[in-house]
Amino acid sequence: MTTEWPDPGEYWAGKRVCVTGGEGFLGAYVLERLAQRGAGEVFVPSIRDYDLVQQDAVRQLLADSHPDVIIHLAANVGGIGANLDNPAVFFYDNLMMGVQLMHEAWAKGVGKFIAVGTVCAYPKFSKPPFKEDTLWDGYPEETNAPYGLAKKMLLVQAQAYRQQYGFNAIYLLPANLYGPGDNFDLRTSHVVPALIRKCFDAIDRGEDAIKVWGTGKPTRELLYVDDAALGLLLAAERYDRSEPVNLGTGRPISIKDLVERIVKLTGFTGTIDWDSSKPDGQPKRSLDTSRAEHFFGFRAETSLEEGLQRTIAWYEANR
């Protein structure tokens, strides 16, 4: 039996949409997808004008934008090093942004709230592929637990507000994102942009080795950023339930294999120096993506090879 999905243009027609974090990496792709779907009234708050950690700023944002739908992408994020250096900041900022925004959105009568969580919320030793029902089976990996738990509280809040108030908030768990326009700052970047940057820096300097954190044994699941944007909007259009939903590819790769693939695609010909004194992070990450496909028809479209090629080409052109 074929599922009859609502027409995207009809869903977004006449709706006022607020995209927090719309100036960020994922936000740029969400805005492009919204434009393609005919969303005409899209409000993108700038962090310069609205510090969403502050309640007054949240209330001002809602007064200025009058949204029917909120897509909450704003977050204070980073890789393992940034999480180790800023656990309190990452916990407080992400918790306060999300909790206050969802509460004030309910109070203002916003029709739908799309909360974006993180794969970091899963327990450290979750059995892959991670199923949404195992989200509470243990404590997250220590290096990013404060961030992961702050984001996971949005799931608790969404379910509580749906139960008590009938508020239509949904919660999505994307895999690690990558793609053109990513953050390539080695102090704060995630694994893919950091590796690409290290390879090109080594080529530019004539160095014969790159240093990579950890042992290379952990696995990660990587989701191309434009696929993530599509998944978010399909969920906004088609999903109105309390259960969290993974967004991913269902295809993990080891860090060792990922490094070797990026080394090949960038043209770096030197060696890889594994620094096993540095943390690996979560041992294994891969997602069960069947719920997203079943409930709103999402399936990632971009292969890892194609996504890496696009990302590397973008970095070469823009560095």
pLDDT digits (tens, 9 = 90+) for 56-103: 999 999 999 999 999 999 999 877 788 889 999 999 999 999 999 999
85 Cβ neighbours under 8 A, 6+ residues apart? none
For residue 138, give the CATH number of its domain: 3.40.50.720
- Residue 261 is assigned to a structural domain of this protein: no
- To the nearest 10 degrees (0 to 180), the angle between helices 87-107 and 145-165 is 10
What is residue 83's predicted lDDT score, i.e. its pLDDT?
Answer: 83
The answer to whether residue 76 is domain-embedded is: yes
Nearest-angstrom CA–CA distance, 165 and 308: 43
Per-residue model confidence as pLDDT tens digits over 178-229: 999 999 998 888 899 999 999 999 999 999 999 998 999 999 999 999 999 9
Element (H, E) at 170: strand 169-174
Q: Residue 131's domain spans which residues?
A: 9-182+221-251+285-302
Strands 219-224 and 252-254: antiparallel
Whole-number pLDDT of residue 2: 54
The verdict on residue 257 lying in a domain is no
Q: Which of 29, 50, 147, 171 is catalytic?
A: 147
pLDDT tens sequence across 96-118: 999 999 999 999 999 999 999 99
Between the CA of residue 257 and those of 179, 193, 200, 254, 309, what are the distances in Å?
18, 15, 18, 5, 15
**Is 170 within a domain?**
yes
Residue 269 counted as domain residue: no
Beta bridge partners of 172: 116, 245
Q: Is residue 263 part of a domain?
A: no
Task: Write down the pTM of the prediction.
Answer: 0.94
First to last CA, the chain: 49
Record the tokens describing residue 18, joined without a space: 């607020």
pLDDT at 1: 41
- Under the banding of pLDDT at 50, 70 and 90, the label for residue 45 is very high
Q: Using the structure block, give the residue that is written with the tokens 């609502």.
A: 6
User: Total structural domains in the chain?
Assistant: 1
User: Cβ(294)–Cβ(165) under 8 Å?
Assistant: no
pLDDT tens digit sequence for 125-171: 999 999 999 999 999 999 889 999 999 999 999 999 999 999 999 99
Q: What is the pLDDT of residues 257-311, one digit of tens each?
A: 999 999 999 999 999 999 999 888 888 889 999 999 999 999 999 999 999 999 9
**Domain membership flag for residue 45:** yes
Judge whether 314 lies within some domain. Answer: no
- Is 147 in the active site? yes
- Largest Cα span, the chain: 62
